[in-house]
Structure 1
Amino acid sequence: MPGTGSDRATHRPAALLWDMDGTLVDTEPYWIETEFALAERYGGTWTRAQALDLVGNDLLASGRYIREHMGIDRTPEQIVEELLDGVVARVEQAVPWVPGARELLLAAVEAGIPCALVTMSYERFVAPILAHLPPETFRVIVTGDKVEMGKPHPEPYLTAAAALGVDPADCVAIEDSNTGAKSAAAAGCTVLVVENHVPVLEGPRRVLRPTLEGLAPQDLAAMLLP
């Protein structure tokens, strides 16, 4: 694949590929609140453990899971749209940035490292979050409604790397879930994992850190795995 390649001598990965929910913004509580509201509206049952099972998943897959386990008479598509309605309304009130994430993102852009957003959320949820960032912070945006196979399939990360014209092996992906880490690792990326709401196991191509706070762009190239 053509691309600029990483430059370890100048401490630059070829690109940063960012997950969104739980990684860039801590919106998982918004999703969970909306899921419980959905169960209450339609007389379903729901638990926090079930909610955490959905972290990082493709939205339609989550809709199918909710229909089955919540026991409500809504199609997966209807469930996804109602979830998005609730979460978008909350994001429009406040964007809960993950500690250190916005700072690292803007520092990477300032350093000339191209960034992509790789999220299983849909475009209409992403838009109000992007409105709080400088224009063109992300050169590429891959959303769950733009790919055929969602995470943990590698397609989302392969799509982002191809759109940037870089080799995934020269990229650092930033994730907070096992589902997302599997997707990025399968694409060939080095995965910087910062746990948030769910524990993430050690695994191939994963570098685990407790926080993004204090990380600078020059720290990222040292994480690249061969």
Structure 2
Amino acid sequence: MTVSEPIVININAALFDVDGTIIDSSPSIAEFWREFGKDKPYFDAEHVIHVSHGWRTFDAIAKFAPDFAIPELVKELEGSVPDKFGQKAVEIPGSPNVVRQILALKTPDNKQKVAVATSGTYDMAVKWFKLMNLERPEVFITAESVSKGKPHPEPYLQGRERLGYKDADKKVVVFEDAPAGVKAGKDADCLVIGIASNFDAEKVKGFGADIVVPDLTKVEVKGYDAETDTFKLQINEYTHASEAALKLASQA
């Protein structure tokens, strides 16, 4: 059931996943895995597609085709995905607009309040942003940026730190769609807004997301308050809100 009573929360910063959160690249990634497995009888592409959403491509190849787990090779393979299969990808409704709104917030020291933390490689993520004509945040964490990918919290912990909000009392929101990413966000002490793009809303709730939405068309960004170093997110429609989310909303 969709709830239309708005939730408003004050946050210091936002961290975005890319695939399934800003752009629905799943059809493109699926075609990549099918092509990758064509000459590998032992490689079950459909199984990998099913279980690896939110993983780094290197981690999936290391598990299911370890002979090909060569960093430069994986980087080249993944970087070719938007070029070969980009026509199958579409924007997640509302997500690019929310990113643009947060990028437009003005702070006294001219620091941005948004970062990307994706399991994708730099080359692939950059190409997705170019396809969407979307400015890249200055803090742009990709598969190469971390030693441990999601579900380990390192990508989001690094995002918090690089934006200047690593302390536990700072309120940081993660936008995610995959079980690995939701766990990473929660373990980084972030409030997680789960987008039901690749999984249905009940599954996203089951992953542990604090708020579940179908997309970000009903999410608004309110102005920056220099005194508190926060801005407001208003979620106008959602299917689930945790006690933690409602508690933050009561403090807004």
Determine which of 189, 202, 205 is the counterpart of 2:206.
202
Change (3 A) 1:23 1:204: closer
Partner of 1:148: 147
Partner of 1:77: 70
Deviations 1:46-71 (A, max 9, x none): 25343120000122211123316xxx
Change (3 A) 1:155 1:214: same
Change (3 A) 1:52 1:166: same
CA contact (8 A) 1:31 1:83 kept: no
Q: How does 1:18-29 map to 2 (within 5 A)?
A: 18-29=16-27
Determine if the alignment matches structure 1 residue 115 to structure 2 residue 128.
no
Flag structure 2 segments of 5+ consecutive residues without an equivalent. 1-7, 107-111, 223-231, 236-244
CA contact (8 A) 2:92 2:215 kept: no
CA contact (8 A) 1:172 1:224 kept: no
Identity %: 22
- Of Structure 1 and Structure 2, the greater strand share is in 2
Aligned positions, number: 211
Determine if the alignment matches structure 1 residue 48 to structure 2 residue 52.
no
Change (3 A) 1:206 1:77: farther
The worse-fitting range, judged by mean Cα deviation, of 33-42 and 75-84 is: 75-84
Offset, 1:134: 4.9
Determine which of 11, 14, 17 is the counterpart of 1:16.
14
Cα distance in 2 for partners of 1:204, 1:94 equals: 29
Where 1:22 maps in the other structure, the secondary structure is coil
Offset, 1:183: 0.4
Could you state the TM-score of these two structures normalised by the residue count of structure 2?
A: 0.73
Offset, 1:76: 1.6
Where 1:106 maps in the other structure, the secondary structure is helix
Amino acid at match of 2:151: P
Amino acid at match of 1:16: A
Cα distance in 2 for partners of 1:20, 1:160 equals: 14
Partner of 1:36: 34
Where 2:115 maps in the other structure, the secondary structure is strand
Cα distance in 1 for partners of 2:15, 2:45 equals: 31
Cα distance in 2 for partners of 1:205, 1:22 equals: 15
Cα distance in 2 for partners of 1:201, 1:11 equals: 19
Q: How does 1:101-140 map to 2 (within 5 A)?
A: 101-112=95-106, 114-131=113-130, 132-135=132-135, 137-140=136-139
- Of Structure 1 and Structure 2, the greater helix share is in 1
Cα distance in 2 for partners of 1:40, 1:94 equals: 20
CA contact (8 A) 2:94 2:215 kept: yes
Offset, 1:152: 0.9
